[in-house]
Structure formats: structure tokens, C-alpha cells
Amino acid sequence: MTIKEASEWASKHIGRNVTPSNISYLIQYGRVKKIEGNGATQISLSDLLSYYQSYNGSREINFKERLGNDLNWALSFDQYKEAETTKHVHRLHPYKGKFIPQLVEYFLDAHIDNFKKETYFKKGDIVLDPFSGSGTTMVQACELGMHAIGIDVSAFNSLIGNCKISRYDIADLRNELLRITKALDSFIKNSNTLEFEARLLQELYAFNEQHFPVPEYKHKLHRKLINESEYGKEKEKLFFPIYADLVKKHHIKLRQERSETFLDKWYSQHIRDEIDFVFNEIKKIENIHTKKIVSIILSRTIRSCRATTHADLATLLEPVTTTYYCHKHGKICKPLFSILKWWKRYSKDTVDRLLQFDKLRTDTCQTCLTGDSRTIDILERVGARSQAFAGLIKTQKIKGIFSSPPYVGLIDYHEQHAYAYDLFCFDRKDELEIGPMYKGQKREAQQDYIQGISDVLKNCKRYLADDYNVFLVANDKFNMYPTIAEKAGMRIVNQFKRPVLNRTEKDKTAYSETIFHLKDSGLMANLENISEHLYNQIPSNHVAQ
């Protein structure tokens, strides 16, 4: 089949849109073999069948065999492409461990469950996320016509969240980005790094064409005809003298003289000079909203320019200052020596995403507070920003919570954005994180976690409506949430076990998380008493019937 015919066949086969670009990707990365015929690229139907065998139900069966038949496959959202799960402002900045917007929308919006229509929230309600992270709940609430409050102990997380839901003067934003880009262009115009990188790219292109031809090399890897580790190391050593000669010839400084901070350790001197230059240009911006969103663009840029391999952006090992064999791209790759490419890409992408969200957002209130959700005074802090919003909270109260608390011993939330804390000089509050990785997962850490999450819920209850609904997304492998609910004066009334697909981490094993639905235990007890009282009023012969 041609690429176009293959995309049409695959779309029907798996019940979702598969574009010609998707098929080209499979060819490029060796998932299906390229066949030359009559001047046009063709592929084999048997190859496609082999690749897509995990679809049309077999993946669901496979997950349920490993995770249990109580898995709610509707909550897998496997019908959505990656571009849809990272739509508009949700991808303004990378964030490890966030949930997809479709999950939030499913519970905030009316939906069908077990053939019964259940509505937990409606337009005009106020939703709270006490572990706001990157602000997904706030953004979806805004899109659905609901007000929302986020709280996060991390100052940088709060900046990300507030930047997503803020309104901007797009003309001013474009003008400032153009000004800074021109200034950066001029700053590096006469730099020896430009000529060095141009020569290096030429050498790499010729070398990779010879030793890692596309798509033949990837196809051989897929068929296990090449030992990737041995072959990659061999070619890595073969190219290194070419790289070392270029570094010496162009006087490239691979490391900074100091390595005390994150910015010192993980960036070459040339990259660091450009970062400092752009940051100083950002300081000149007068419009505070423009200044903040441009700062997010710079943060996103420098995250992509750390001295590490393409495969280790999420889990940094050691700074990489030489060319290396890249397992992600299947060829020899290089470290970065300028931020310009990524700065330009993310500048355009950010403006596009803000414009997309502007078409969907509603005239509602959202704000993210920086603070400890165990003790924060929500009314006071919201009132300091908007008396009108605080008044709304007093009048109708917060309808409920949708949040994903940190998982015990899994992520150090401040550390994942250490580059931003260094750059913006934010105060770090690592000691206030609940369940950080550095505390581990042993019994003492679990007890601290239980106390921390229950304290958050107890504090938030003061602002909730009587008939509130709380939804917490967690992977509770230590069975802590029944205790958390009890300590918070709540009761788990339902659980939704969902498979997590398309994880960004390297571990691709079957994985699930649970959405715990909690309500006030006192209210539930009252409802049960009322129900029992009414039941007791029914004549005994009717009861028997």
C-alpha cells in the first residue's frame, strides 16, 4: 500500500484517525519496512497488522489480565492523540506527573456512568485543586465555565498555573518576543559557536548518513539484526576525534568554571551566556503579564538545552559535553551550543497556544495561590487578589475538589524545576512538600504522608459546600487513602480504576491509578439514618414484598 492508502486502512482498523504523517513516522523509526516501487514509497499490510495488533481490544484485554477486570477502560482515553491530551495551554511548559485534561473534564462535566447520568459539578460552581501542579484543573474549569482555585507550595508551579489562565495583550507579547529574538540574534552573530556548530552538523550529517541510514538502520534494530549498544559505542568512538578537533579549532568552552548551582553544572558556558542575556532582556518588559509568560518561554527553552542526552531529559544523570550515540534517534547526536532554535520554536508555539485557548475560555475566575494547603487561609488570600471572587466563595462556597496529590516517595517537585529556581531566584520550600522522593516510601514516610494529605483535606473542608464532592487521583499501592479519608472526616463512596497509557517515563509496564470519590462522612451518616428511618416506616408486609 502507499502511505495514503495505509493511513486510510489504519484509521478504519483501529477506529481513530491515522494520518499519512503517522505512517511516515512508523517508516522512519523502523516500525514498518519501506518498500520502493514505481517511484513511490510503499509498505506491507502484514507489517501494519503486526504493528497495530495491540489495538481493537487486545490492549484492553492485556491490561485487564495484568491489572484486574475492575479496570475502567473508558477512563483510558485511548481514542485521543498526544496532541489532544496536550491541547492549547496545557503544554506551555513540561511538568512531570500531571494528569491529562480529559480526565478532569470527565468528572467536572456531566457524564454517563453505568447508564445513569451523574453530574457532580455545573457551570458557575467553584472547584478547588489544593495540589495544583501545572494548573490542569484550573484550565479545564475555565474551559467548562466554572471558577477555580489552585494552591501549590511551589512558587514556580504557581507561576505556570497562573500564566496558563491569564489574559494577554498578544500584540505586546509578539513585539517583545521579536525584540528579544533580534537582540539574541545580534548577540550571537559573531560568536565562534555558530561556525563551530555549522561545521559539526555537516560532519554529523555525513557520518550518520553512512553509518545510520534512515530508515534501514531503524528497521534492522526493530528486527534485532544489530546489537544497538555495541554498534552505537563503536561509532561513538569513531566520531569523537572529529568532534574534539572542531572543539579545539573553534576554542569552544564546554564547561563553566563553577559547578555550584544547577545553572553552573548543566549548561555549557556558551548556553549560559545566552540565558543570562535573554533574562536581562526580559527584565526590561513593562507589562507584568507579558513579562511572566515570556519568563515561562525562557524556562521551557533552557529545560530543553540542558547538557544531557535526548533520552534523559526527565532523569538527569551526568552532564554530557561530547557527541554520543542517541538511543532515541538512532544516530550520533550532539550537545546544544545555543538556545536560539528552541527560543524561536517555543515563542511561536506559546503564542499559538494562547490564541487557541482564548477561543475556548469562559468569563470565569481562576487563580493559583502559592502556599501550604494544610494551613492556607483561602478566603484571605483570594480576597487579596479579588474581593469579588472572595465574595463569591463566601456566598456559594466551593463545590468540591479535583486534584492529584503527590505520590509518596516518587517526585521531588522543587528539584524537577531546579533550573527555574536558580534563574528566577524563587524561594524553595522543599521541606513543605508532602511525600517527596528524598523521604522514601518506608513506614515513617507513609505515616507523614497520611497526616499531610488528611490535614490538607481538613483545612479545605472549611470552605466547601455541605454536599461537596472530592475526587483525588492516586496510585494507592500502600492502601493509605481509607485512613486519609477517615482522618479527614470523609468517606470513600466510589473508586474509579483507570489504566494509564502513553506514559512519558521509560517504564512502559501496565500501570493504573485510582480516582477516589470522597464525601463528608457526617453527611453520609445522616443520609443513611434518614434512609433507615423511612425504611422503618414501611409496613412489614410491604417490606417482605
DSSP structure string for 167-222: ---HHHHHHHHHHHHHHHHHHHTT-HHHHHHHHHHHHHHHHHHHHS-TTHHHHHHH
3-state secondary structure 123-141: CCCEEEECCCCCCHHHHHH
pLDDT score for 397 = 97
Tell me whether residue 545 is in a domain: no
In whole angstroms, what is the distance from residue 74 CA to residue 62 CA? Answer: 15
254 shares a domain with 149? no
pLDDT value, residue 355: 98
Contact between residue 301 and residue 420 where contact means Cβ atoms under 8 Å apart: no
The C-alpha atoms of residue 267 and residue 286 are separated, in whole angstroms, by 29
Report pLDDT digits (tens) over 348-392. 999 999 999 999 999 999 999 999 999 999 999 999 999 999 999
Same domain, 406 and 518: yes
Model confidence at 127: pLDDT above 50: yes
Out of 2-6, 26-30, 306-310, 438-442, the most confident range is: 438-442
User: 521 and 506, same structural domain?
Assistant: yes
pLDDT confidence bin for 59, thresholds 50/70/90: confident
Identify the sign of the CA torsion 321, 326, 328, 331.
positive
Same domain for 389 and 417, yes or no, is yes
Of 289, 292, 306, give the one whose Cα is nearest residue 342. Answer: 306
The DSSP-derived string for 476-520 is -TT--HHHHHHHTTEEEEEEEEEE--S-SSS--S--EEEEEEEEE
Task: Tell which residue, 76, 48, 47, 50, has the closest CA to residue 61.
Answer: 76
Looking at the structure, tell me whether residues 383 and 508 fall in a common domain.
yes
pLDDT of residue 112: 44
57 Rama class: left (phi>0) / alpha (psi -120 to 50) / beta: left
Both 388 and 463 in one domain: the answer is: yes
Q: Would you say 251 and 315 are in contact if contact means Cβ atoms under 8 Å apart?
A: no
Asked whether residue 114 carries a pLDDT value surpassing 50, the answer given is no
Neighbours of 471 (CB within 10 A): 24
Amino acid at 86: T
Domains in the chain, number? 3
Tell whether 14 and 84 lie within a shared domain: no
Question: At which residue does the C-alpha cell 482515553 appear?
Answer: 77
* 146: Cα separation from own chain's centroid: 22
Report yes or no on 107 lying in a domain: yes
Residue 221 and residue 94 share a domain: no
Is 345 within the bounds of a domain?
yes
- Percent of the chain having pLDDT more than 70? 91
Cβ pair 160, 92 in contact under 8 A: yes
> In which domain, by residue range, is 398 found?
70-157+359-534
- State in Å, rounded, how far the first CA of the chain is from the last one: 66
**How far apart (Å, rounded) are the C-alpha atoms in residues 314 and 297?**
18
pLDDT in the model for residue 290:
98
| 63 within a domain of the structure (yes/no) | no
Q: What is the dihedral of CA 449, 86, 365, 362, to 10 degrees?
A: -150
Domain boundary among 291, 322, 355: 355
At residue 244, the pLDDT reads 96
**Last residue within a domain, chosen from 327, 355, 383:** 355
Per-residue model confidence as pLDDT tens digits over 165-220: 999 999 999 999 999 999 999 999 878 888 999 999 999 999 999 999 988 898 88
Is there a domain that residue 64 lies in?
no
Is pLDDT at 115 greater than 60 in this prediction?
no
pLDDT score recorded for residue 312? 73
The predicted pLDDT at position 123 comes to 95
Q: Establish if 174 belongs to a structural domain.
A: yes
Q: Does one domain contain both 206 and 140? A: no
* Same-domain pairing of 235 and 384: no
Which pLDDT tens digit goes with each residue over 463-491?
999 999 999 999 899 999 999 999 999 99
Strand, coil or helix: 9: helix
Determine the pLDDT at residue 487.
97
Dist. CA 160–CA 89, nearest whole Å: 10
Burial tier of 245 (Cβ tally within 10 Å: 0-12, 13-18, 19+): exposed
* Confidence (pLDDT) at 110: 59
> Are 23 and 95 contained in the same domain?
no
pLDDT recorded at residue 192: 85
Domain boundary residue, one of 56, 80, 97: 56
Amino acid occupying residue 88: H
Predicted confidence at residue 532, as pLDDT, reads 61
Q: What is the pLDDT of residue 10?
A: 87
Nearest alpha carbon to residue 344 among 202, 180, 502, 138: 180
What average pLDDT does range 23-39 have in this prediction? 78
Which one, of 407, 400, 405, lies nearest residue 518 by Cα? 400
Output the CA angle 402-408-412, nearest 5 degrees. Answer: 95
Please tell me whether residues 367 and 343 are part of one structural domain.
no
Tell me the three cell numbers of residue 268: 555549557
Cα Rg, the chain, nearest whole Å:
27
Mean pLDDT of the chain: 89
Contacts 24+ apart (CB under 8 A), 221-228: 221/30, 221/330, 222/30, 222/31, 228/327, 228/330
User: Is residue 24 scored above 60 in pLDDT?
Assistant: yes
pLDDT tens sequence across 402-453: 999 999 998 888 999 999 999 999 999 999 999 999 999 999 999 999 999 9
